[in-house]
């Protein structure tokens, strides 16, 4: 069944949800406030439900509106993909690819991936967003990102495809002058005496860390500092007797900042990593290009 909805109505509704205010949305869309209000009411009448709740400070999506906003955003995204593919067929190679990346991918692989993509498609714009699983995966599902390069140890989702490329191991790092740095094997109880620096909102890593101590009959460690940057985390650990957790693949970067991996008892955390993107009958060419570049670079790097 075809739904004769003007595509512009969806776009205008999404703007109202994004801005949370009709006036701000109308300004962004360059239309009058009465016109935007009229068009949203037209959309509500067509669907037979209330999409927005009005209050003194603006508007917020109802439960019906949340469904339309989520699906409508993906429709907008598919339209962008179609435009980018048409431009590529015309030889323009224009468009934007939004890549969410974890710290290890951002450091080890994404600079080379970005260079390769620019060489292949000079008109393509690449937007890189650093984050952790708990921020990147929701961004992908909401349509804010086109592909995520990170750990893959999160629950499978029917709308997502996981492409396993490499396995990583997490380790504990401390500064070279740390009291535990010269030990042969470190008992988990000894690490409980020190505070930790971790990436902000990285609930998966914090949970894995807690599981390690729990398996040894201990409570969760004390996290004293949270940061969005692993460089800041390493710099903080370098300045005091903190501990932090990161992948062993970042060991050269850690050592350049005066840190060393500690010989802990047992294994902290092994996990698969790679690319995740939305399931579709036709995967966008730009997403395929990212995966292909990433595979080549990971393979080359691991064979060095």
pLDDT exceeds cutoff 50 at 221: yes
With a pLDDT cut of 90, the percent of the chain lying above it is 47
With a pLDDT cut of 70, the percent of the chain lying above it is 91
Q: What is the pLDDT of residue 1?
A: 39
Tell me if 7-73 shares its fold with 167-270.
Answer: no
Strands 96-101 and 147-151: parallel
Each residue's pLDDT tens digit, 46-71:
888 998 998 878 889 899 888 888 87
Integer Cα distance of 249 and 47 in angstroms: 52
Q: What is the pLDDT of residue 279?
A: 87
What would the mean pLDDT of 267-286 be, rounded to a whole number?
A: 87
Task: Domain 167-270: give its CATH code.
Answer: 3.40.190.290
pLDDT exceeds cutoff 90 at 150: yes
User: Using DSSP, how many helices (H) and how many strands (E) does the chain show?
Assistant: 12, 11
Task: Domain 74-166+272-303: give its CATH code.
Answer: 3.40.190.10
pLDDT exceeds cutoff 60 at 289: yes
Collapsed DSSP state (helix, strand, coil) of residue 262: coil
Top-confidence residue, 78 or 197: 197
Each residue's pLDDT tens digit, 5-46:
677 888 888 888 888 888 888 888 888 888 888 888 888 888
Each residue's pLDDT tens digit, 104-146:
999 999 999 999 998 888 878 899 999 999 899 998 988 889 9
What would the mean pLDDT of 190-203 be, rounded to a whole number?
A: 93
Top-confidence residue, 108 or 72: 108
Distances (CA, A) of 100 to 5, 52, 250, 272, 298: 32, 30, 19, 17, 17
Confidence of residue 190 (pLDDT cuts 50, 70, 90): very high
Each residue's pLDDT tens digit, 245-259:
999 999 999 999 999
For 77-86, 265-274, 282-291, which range has the lowest pLDDT when averaged over its residues? 77-86
- The CATH architecture annotation of domain 7-73 reads Orthogonal Bundle (1.10)
CB atoms within 10 A of CB 251: 15
- Would you list the domain boundaries of the chain? 7-73, 74-166+272-303, 167-270
Six-digit token string for 143? 């349509």
The H-assigned helical ranges of 109-216 are 110-120, 133-141, 188-191, 203-215
């Amino acid at each position: 069944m075809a739904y004769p909805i003007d595509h512009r109505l969806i776009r205008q509704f999404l703007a109202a949800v994004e801005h949370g205010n009709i006036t701000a949305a109308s300004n962004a869309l360059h239309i009058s406030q009465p016109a935007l209000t009229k068009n949203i009411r037209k959309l509500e009448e067509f669907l037979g439900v209330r999409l927005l709740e009005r209050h003194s400070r603006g508007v917020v999506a109802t439960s019906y509106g949340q469904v339309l906003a989520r699906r409508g955003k993906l429709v907008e995204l598919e339209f962008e993909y179609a435009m980018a593919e048409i431009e590529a067929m015309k030889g323009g190679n224009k468009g934007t690819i939004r890549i969410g990346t974890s710290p290890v991918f951002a450091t080890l692989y994404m600079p080379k991936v970005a260079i390769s993509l620019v060489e292949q498609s000079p008109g393509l714009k690449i937007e890189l967003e650093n984050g952790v699983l708990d921020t990147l995966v929701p961004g992908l599902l909401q349509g804010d990102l086109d592909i995520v390069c990170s750990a893959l140890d999160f629950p499978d989702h029917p709308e997502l495809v996981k492409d396993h490329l490499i396995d990583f191991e997490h380790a504990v790092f401390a500064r070279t002058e740390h009291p535990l740095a010269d030990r042969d094997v470190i008992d988990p109880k000894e690490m409980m005496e020190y505070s930790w620096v971790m990436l902000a909102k990285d609930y998966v890593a914090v949970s894995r860390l807690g599981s390690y101590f729990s398996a040894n009959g201990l409570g969760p460690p004390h996290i004293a500092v949270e940061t969005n940057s692993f460089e800041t985390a390493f710099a903080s650990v370098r300045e005091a007797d903190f501990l932090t957790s990161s992948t062993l693949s970042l060991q050269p970067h850690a050592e350049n900042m005066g840190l060393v991996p500690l010989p802990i008892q047992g294994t902290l955390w092994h996990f698969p990593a790679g690319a995740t993107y939305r399931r579709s009958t036709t995967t966008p060419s730009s997403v395929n290009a990212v995966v292909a570049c990433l595979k080549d670079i990971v393979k080359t790097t691991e064979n060095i």
